[in-house]
């Protein structure tokens, strides 16, 4: 099997309801859908899921102009060669990893279809029968957050993640209210999306949250403040999770060496693809550091890619955010993703286990004039 054509289609798909985090408000996901065609007619799918730099949709042109020539004519198993070519072509753009990830995902989808296997079997095989999920709660007044939490707990989710921003008092109130209402059966994660400028600010907040038995506090400090994260981790009574500090496997290596996190939230779009996300999970396992799988949030293709990583990761230490598709009102694929009682079941293969809906792709296709114009000036959402 050889790749004969690579296309990237910008799409804008609405969320079920707008979501507010420390990074802004999001009401649509403006991403790119990568379609790789092979000489035997097989189609592989990838998704450019990114909320910064004009969103993933703005990277479609880069996929078609720069990355397509590197994969057309190649076989879908040539992942290492593609990674080296992509690194040469895109040496200085961290956000372009989301485009690389989409192409790697499409290659793995083709490879899985060629082998007649689900992608997780190309990533080491299934390490678990189901993946516990965590759903995110936006920054909103306490009662509004509680309403959403009641709905999610009613749907069977056992872990929720409260988003924090500038108002730490509101966050502490939210966490206290969640604990009071749901008791010890609810897992509570907290995500600060870099909202604390200093390690000391973060430590003070964590000490206020500690009485409510919080599972982890995610990325309290700016992405580049790895020393601050290390200082905080040494003092924090609650496990510290790194998110924005870790994009590529190289970032993970630096965070692990600095002992700057107890757990790393691993993303397919930020790492450069499912195989590279698995490499980060391997690095963490080797270093004795925990792993969770994060979400941008992705549509169905990206969620399936993250699911194959979650099912094959050597360790998975906390409920993960592999449910991006649930935040969206619609999708461009039919997925075989099944969520049952707050757990994700293994995706059906071969490949990713998703099927493109051409009518939906056309319905959500962005007009070229709109691409990159949406949230380009203001980063928007971060569900995880
Ligand atoms: Mg996060």
| Distance (Å) from CA 241 to ligand 1 centroid | 8
Question: Ligand 1 centroid vs 25 CA: distance in angstroms?
Answer: 15
Tell me which residue has tokens 């056992």: 158
Does domain 3-117+359-366 fall under CATH 3.40.50.970? My reply is no
- Does residue 47 contact residue 74 with C-beta atoms inside 8 Å? no
Structure tokens at 281: 């999970």
Rounded to whole angstroms, how far apart are CA atoms 29 and 373?
Answer: 12
Q: How far is the CA of 122 from the centre of ligand 1 (A)?
A: 27
Q: Strand pairing partners for 189?
A: 161, 216
CB distance 266 to 309 below 8 Å:
yes
C-alpha of residue 250 to centroid of ligand 1, in Å:
19
pTM assigned to the model: 0.95
Q: Which residue has the tokens 């600095």?
A: 258
Domain spans of the chain, in order of start: 3-117+359-366, 120-355
**Residue 160 CA, ligand 1 centroid: distance in Å:** 13
Predicted pLDDT of residue 1: 96
pLDDT at 380: 43
**CA 113 to each of CA 118, 278, 350: distance values in angstroms, whole numbers, following the listed order:** 8, 20, 5
Confidence check: pLDDT of 375 > 90: no
Distance CA 246, CA 250 (A): 8
Rounded Cα distance between 344 and 353, Å, is 14
Supply the mean pLDDT for the chain.
94
Query: What single DSSP character describes residue 246?
Result: -
Residue of 371 and 47 predicted with greater confidence: 47
Q: How many CB atoms lie within 10 A of CB 16?
A: 11
User: How far, in Å, is the centroid of ligand 1 from the Cα of 245?
Assistant: 10
CATH code linked to domain 120-355: 3.20.20.120
Token pair listed for 123: 């990533």
User: Within 10 A of 112 (CB to CB), how many other CB atoms are there?
Assistant: 24
* Predicted local distance difference test score (pLDDT) of residue 53: 80
Ligand 1 centroid to Cα of residue 266, in Å, is: 10
Task: Measure 294 CA to ligand 1 centroid, in angstroms.
Answer: 7
Ligand 1 center from residue 143 Cα (angstroms): 23
Q: Percent of the chain at pLDDT above 90?
A: 89
DSSP labels, 161-175: EEE--S-HHHHHHHH
pLDDT digits (tens, 9 = 90+) for 162-208: 999 989 999 999 999 999 999 999 999 999 999 999 999 999 999 99
- Cβ-proximal residues to 314 (8 Å cutoff; 6+ apart), any chain: 124, 127, 281, 282, 285, 291
Please choose, from the candidates 48, 21, 93, 89, the residue with its C-alpha nearest in 3D space to the C-alpha of residue 372: 48
Q: Which residues surround ligand 1, an ion (CB under 5 A)?
A: 191, 218, 243, 384
Question: What's the pLDDT score for residue 57?
Answer: 95
Residue among 34, 41, 56, 57 nearest 103 (CA):
34
CB atoms within 10 A of CB 140: 16
Encoded tokens for 331: 């999708």
Is pLDDT of 377 > 80? no
Structure tokens at 82: 């593609």
- The residue among 369, 383, 384 whose CA lies nearest residue 54 is 369
245 phi/psi in degrees, rounded to 5: -70, -20
Q: Which residues contact 367 (CB under 8 A, 6 or more apart)?
A: none
Kindly tell me if the per-residue pLDDT of 372 is higher than 90: no
Find the 369 Cα to ligand 1 centroid distance in Å. Answer: 31
């Amino acid at each position: 099997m050889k790749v004969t054509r690579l296309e990237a289609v910008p799409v804008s798909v609405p969320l079920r309801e707008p979501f507010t985090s420390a990074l802004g408000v999001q009401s649509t996901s403006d991403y790119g859908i990568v379609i790789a065609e092979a000489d035997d007619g097989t189609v592989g799918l990838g998704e450019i899921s990114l909320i910064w730099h004009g969103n993933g949709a703005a990277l479609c042109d880069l996929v078609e102009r720069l990355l397509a020539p590197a994969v057309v004519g190649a076989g879908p198993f040539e992942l290492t060669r593609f990674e080296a070519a992509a690194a040469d072509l895109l040496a200085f753009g961290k956000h372009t990893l989301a485009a690389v990830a989409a192409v790697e995902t499409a290659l793995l989808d083709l490879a899985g279809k060629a082998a007649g296997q689900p992608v997780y079997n190309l990533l080491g095989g299934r390490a678990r029968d189901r993946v516990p999920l965590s759903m995110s709660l936006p920054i909103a007044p306490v009662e509004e957050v509680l309403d959403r939490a009641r709905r999610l707990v009613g749907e069977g989710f056992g872990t929720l993640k409260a988003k924090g921003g500038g108002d730490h008092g509101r966050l502490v109130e939210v966490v206290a209210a969640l604990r009071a209402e749901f008791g010890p059966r609810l897992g509570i994660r907290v995500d600060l999306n870099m909202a604390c400028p200093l390690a000391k600010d973060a430590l003070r907040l964590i000490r206020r949250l500690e009485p409510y038995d919080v599972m982890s506090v995610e990325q309290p400090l700016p992405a580049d403040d790895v020393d601050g994260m290390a200082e905080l981790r040494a003092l924090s009574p609650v496990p510290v999770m790194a998110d924005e500090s870790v994009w590529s496997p190289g970032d993970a290596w630096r965070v692990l060496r600095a002992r700057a996190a107890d757990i790393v939230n691993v993303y397919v779009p930020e790492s450069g693809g499912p195989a590279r996300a698995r490499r980060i999970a391997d690095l963490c396992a080797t270093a004795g550091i925990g792993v969770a799988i994060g979400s941008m949030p992705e549509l169905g293709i990206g969620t399936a890619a993250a699911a194959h990583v979650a099912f094959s990761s050597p360790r998975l230490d906390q409920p993960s955010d592999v449910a991006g598709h649930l935040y969206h009102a619609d999708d461009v694929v039919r997925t075989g993703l099944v969520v049952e009682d707050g757990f994700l079941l293994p995706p059906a293969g071969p490949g990713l286990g998703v099927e493109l809906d051409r009518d939906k792709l056309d319905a959500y296709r962005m007009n070229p004039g709109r691409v990159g114009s949406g949230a380009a000036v203001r980063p928007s959402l971060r569900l995880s």
